[in-house]
Chains A and B, each alone.
Chain A
Amino acid sequence: MSDEPVKKLKQKLSDDNVVPIAAGNPAKAESLAIDQSQLDEYFGDGGAESSVAGYGRPPKGVFFTVMPEPTPQWQNRGFYWILEIPNRDPYFVTPAIAKVKAGEDVLRPLLLVRYVTMAGDEGLWPIKLNPPDGRANLYNSSARNIMEIAANGTPATKDKPARPGPLWVRLVSANGYYEHIVSPITMEESPPQFTNRTFAELVAAVSEGRIVDTLDHEVWSVLSHGR
């Protein structure tokens, strides 16, 4: 072995205090066993920021939150005309075109709400609006209510004190509607990792290449001819 690698090694070792090291004794493994009551403990940790945004209901298995909107000028939610065709990503239709195509039953206004999960995944939650005439869909109503609870908290009840929002909540499917579970973890204990992107930027990320702003867009042909 030439001297050069040895010199490098010596330099490296003088830079790093490698020893002494306290290592576990495998013969005493029983004293190293981790108490499983850690299942009741939570640890906050940071994570990488995503450059993409999801579109859809927050995953049911995970807690998420949304931003409150204290002023009438919403910053993190908005109404959009969305055209949904099975097995295709949604199309964002401009209001002028939507007015012309109002008769299409797959075209409807949705409330898009910015959410982030505890894992730091950010997305837009499309909440369908109940039609002004006709029966309310309980999935739509409950989703909207849960979104408001996530943003603004829960009022005091006979049994529980009020919890101000925003809160970490989780969706649970019930029979024909959504229930929700509120996490005991507070926003201080586990701050939501919303990215620095604006709501408009999120919408732009989700709608990129899927904006319908003309009457000769290919999507109308798909709807007319099934292709």
Chain B
Amino acid sequence: MAADFDDREIICQRIVIPDSEFDARKNMGEPPGPPICICAIEIGPNGLILHKLAAPYPRVPPWHRDDPYLTLGFALGAEAGSYLHAGWPFPVPAIDLYAEYMVIHNSEMSHINGSKDPGPSLLQACRRYGIRPTIDEARKEQMRELAFSKTDHTSEEIAVLQDYCLTDDCQNTLDLFLKMRSRIDFLRAPIRGAYMMELERVRWRGIPIDMETYARALRQAPKAASAMRAELNRRLGAEVYFHDIFKRKTMFAVMRRERIPIPVDPKTGTLSCATKLIKGMVGTYPLLGVFYEYKRMIDALRSLKLEIGSDGRNRRWLNPFGTKTGRNNPSTNRYIFGLPHTMRSFIKPGPSMALAQLDIGNEEVGVAAALSRDPQLIADYLSGDVYREFAKAALGLTDVSKRQRQVYKGCVLGRIYGMGAKTLACNLGISREEAGRILQMMKERYPILHEWLDRVLLKVAHCRPIVCKLGWSLTPKGKSGEMTSFMNYPMQANSAELLRLIFIRAAHIPILGCAHDSFLIEDTIERIEQTVAEMREIILQAARDLFDFELRVDCNPDTDIVRWPDRFIDDREREDGMKHWNWLMELINEQGDTDPAEAVDLAGRSRSSAA
């Protein structure tokens, strides 16, 4: 790891607290509107300066002079939109008090069962710190109304909004900063601040959606969902959907009939067939796989609400730090990456453009190898297929079948997720003894990993905070059932730290969106491969810098790069032969016949365009 300590700190003689008023166009899928005004409180050796700006804005903000200064804000993503409109570069260093609030209060906001309270507004955060806000909700709403209701504000109205910016948001942010100051990690907070602004740049770009197909899907969603329910009933041989209502008990009966073990929901202690609980079992029980895919599609069709702007691009707040691991937690029905993977094929590049998806291969296992420094796990990870290597060694074979690989994959992931032999046996359809035997073999093959996992648990048992690479942390509460959820916390939370670092280093790369371990980027057809190469190097270098380890970055030029007029296809859908997508296209066909333009061959090319 490079250790250049000389310039890792920036000494700031001034702080600047900017705020702007603009129409956020919330939940509309549009980029935020242009700022009506941008104001700032500047505090420096020469005292206090109040800045009040309105369009046209200068080339750089007036507080941007030669000496470094610290920018402070609460939810800086909002200000990032105004900076983008004004053509200003994002300030460095910047500290976002929303992000710092989420870091400092992660443990108290997180619940053992995995859920987390939503992040606070500025006023809520102020109240949490005993600050009496300078403005009440009614006045704030009045100012919002003034800002959002029109675009042609008079100079008097702009002056009112400028005063509001300075006396409300800027001053409350300053008060909050003074209260939070002693708890902020000033070294690492600017990384989170930069990330918050880069996320806004990503949201601003939006993800291109094939609007014709999506609009038809939206119109035909009830019909398609109904057909899927009927087909699912037929495939399962039971009315799991009775008059469009899902009957859990009927599904339990199907599972019992097929000798499929029914998982117990750890939150409620009751039997459950929730998709998140059966996900690990679908590879073992094909019928459960059918149920899983159909159920997710039916649920998605029932509440399809992608936020798409007038330019046909999906934009949605990614809810940064929205989970206890610090991962983003965007809406599952308003953001395209929250939909079932089949529906990601609504993504389609525009003319002359291309899209590429880069995945960090087996990221959690790779991070576990990096953190534990288990030499065998590192070697297996670097071989390209850790599960196959483990299965080969355990079975004493030179190669293994897909099913054998899957069993050992379940074991490796299961162990990292804290599964015992009982759950593993249930998921993999093997006996408890067999599951125990494989877990023991895994312990023998990766002893350093096991010792490291035990140390993590030991720390959890001592109720000490687990602190990640860039300062994100979670403190165990000492409650029953907590250990399992903490088992893979270092992997998931450190992966989220890596994602943040990648985002701020890839500010110049046209990233459109991301899942936990993958990035969607866009460029012209001519430049896309070069951009992919650049993005890949950024990811690799970020992993080297954070973990002193090179994670794998997967982007197959033949399948993971799509060029107009082809559409995006998720790897899992491709492996399934596009059958779910093609069927969805048949169901939403308004003419009653299959539209040849929508049926897709395995290259993601619609048949008509291929012709």
Contact = CB atoms under 8 A, between A and B. Distances in A.
A60 B480 contact: yes
Contact of A119 (B163, B371, B478): B478
Nearest to B13: A20
Interface stretch (A25-33, A128-136, A200-208, A212-220): A25-33
B4 A26 contact: no
Interface string B166-194: 11000100110010000000111111011
A13 interface: yes
B482 A32 contact: no
A36 B163 CA distance: 47
A36 B469 contact: yes
The 9 residue pairs across chains A and B that have the minimum distance between CB atoms: A119-B478, A30-B545, A24-B187, A61-B483, A62-B478, A119-B463, A59-B480, A23-B93, A28-B8
A33 B455 contact: no
B45, B460, B477: most-surrounded residue (chain A CB, <10 A): B477
7 contacts: A9-B48, A23-B189, A28-B8, A33-B545, A61-B457, A62-B482, A118-B463
A33 B370 CA distance: 14
A171 B44 CA distance: 56
Interface in B445-484: 452, 455-471, 476-483
Interface string A1-44: 10001100110110010111111111111111110101110110
B4 A6 contact: no
A180 to B, nearest CB: 12
Given A19-B43, A25-B190, A118 B461 contact: yes
Contacts of A38: 467
Contacts of B461: 61-63, 118, 170, 181, 183
A25 B47 contact: no
Interface in B496-513: 501, 504
A195 interface: no
B8 A33 contact: no
Interface in B424-463: 452, 455-463
Interface residues of B, number: 75
Nearest to B170: A9
B143 interface: no
A49 to B, nearest CB: 14
B253 interface: no
Contact of A23 (B9, B463, B481, B545): B9
B462 A42 contact: yes
B122 interface: no
B128 to A, nearest CB: 15
A5 B170 CA distance: 11
B250 to A, nearest CB: 27
Interface of B: 1-5, 7-15, 41, 43-45, 47-48, 50, 70, 92-93, 95, 134, 162-163, 166-167, 171, 174-175, 178, 186-191, 193-194, 371, 452, 455-471, 476-483, 490, 494, 501, 504, 545-546
A155 B457 CA distance: 26
Nearest to A118: B463
B464 A42 contact: yes
A185 interface: yes
B476 A22 contact: no
Given A32-B191, A40-B455, A19 B8 contact: no
B15 A21 contact: yes
Contacts of B463: 62-63, 117-119
Contacts of A60: 480, 483
Nearest to B186: A23
B62 to A, nearest CB: 17
B48 A10 contact: yes
A148 interface: no
B48 A26 contact: no
